[in-house]
Amino acid sequence: MNTASKCGFTSQYADPEKLYNLYKDRLVVVGFPANDFGGQEPDSNIQIGAFCRKNYGVKISVK
């Protein structure tokens, strides 16, 4: 999943999290933040992780 916090479709973060919670014993969801499309992801990985946790309840491992 290619993601961007400042994109109009950011609310879509919630759906992969719901899917993961249903199938976490056999599903891995991987998000790749990218700032390549109109500068919609200018933050650091740490900031992006905090944003996802705070706004969408995403349990995230930041690398």
**7 is a catalytic site residue:** yes
What tokens were used for 22?
């249903």
Catalytic residue, candidates 3, 5, 7, 50: 7
Cα of 10 vs its chain's centroid, Å: 8
The residue to which tokens 């740490």 are assigned: 46
Q: Where are the alpha helices (DSSP H) in the chain?
A: 14-23, 45-56
Catalytic residues: 7
